[in-house]
Amino acid sequence: MVEHTIRSTSPKERIIAAARERFLREGFSKVSIDELAADLAISKKTFYKFFENKDDLLGQIVERILRDMNAGFTAIITSDASFVQKLDQTMAFVGRQVGRLARPFLQDLQRYAPHYWQRVQHFRRQRMAVNIGALFDQGITGGYIREDINPRVLLMAFVGTVESVINPAVLSQESFSSDQAMRSILRIFFHGLLTEDASRELMSLQQNQTSQSI
């Protein structure tokens, strides 16, 4: 199905689709223009008709990835689904998207294309903050998120955690993948760390401490 779609689109779109698939899976540093041209049975002249060089191609792929992620977030958040449904859809969507960003690709971005890595970081800080912030606001307004949680602190903590963990320098030292890390972050923020019994015990201790300090 994918192969048929690639063959039926324009040469430029075929190049972007094939390169995106290989770059995400293998990283881009080891994939040459010659290899891409051979994969698609096109000449290098055709490649240079649409792209100045591999960096230009990479930049367009990065922008499309970010555009697709933003569109996916927006579609979920602006839908008529309930907050809990939106939260579930967001967790699934983010898990899928982050799962596609394999470690070699992230490492290559940081090492060989820091200008595009900074673009990704900027997107995380700005667009993800806007989208996730809107979801948190809906949760607070609808009574799904506790009123004693400062929404700004919650948003900053979430975005900061994603930025610090889904990072090539961190992932290269750990056994978990970016997808596994993201799913754990989502579970921690939206399900919590403690079991129900432990949560009740902690709440009781905090209430006792508060009454003793009065």
pLDDT at 17: 95
Mean pLDDT taken over the chain: 86
Q: Can you list the pairs that 146-151 forms with residues at least 24 positions away whose Cβ atoms lie under 8 Å?
A: none
pLDDT at 212: 64
pLDDT at 114: 95
User: Could you read off the pLDDT tens digit of each residue along the chain, which spans 214 residues?
Assistant: 444 444 557 899 999 999 999 999 999 999 999 999 999 999 999 999 999 999 999 999 999 999 999 999 999 999 999 988 988 888 788 778 877 877 889 889 999 999 999 998 888 888 888 888 899 899 988 988 888 888 889 889 988 898 888 877 787 788 988 778 887 888 888 778 778 888 788 778 877 776 665 5
Q: Write down the residue that tokens 């390169």 correspond to.
A: 19
Which domains does the chain show, CATH number per domain? 2-50 (1.10.10), 54-193 (1.10.357.10)
Q: Can you list the pairs that 168-172 forms with residues at least 24 positions away whose Cβ atoms lie under 8 Å?
A: 168/103, 168/106, 168/107, 168/109, 168/110, 168/111, 169/110, 171/103, 171/106, 171/107, 172/103, 172/107
Share of the chain above pLDDT 70, in %: 94
pTM: 0.76
CA-CA distance, 135 to 142, in Å (whole number)? 11
Q: Write down the residue that tokens 């792209």 correspond to.
A: 51
Q: Write down the residue that tokens 């990704």 correspond to.
A: 120
Q: Which of 211, 206, 200, 76 minimizes the C-alpha distance to 138?
A: 76
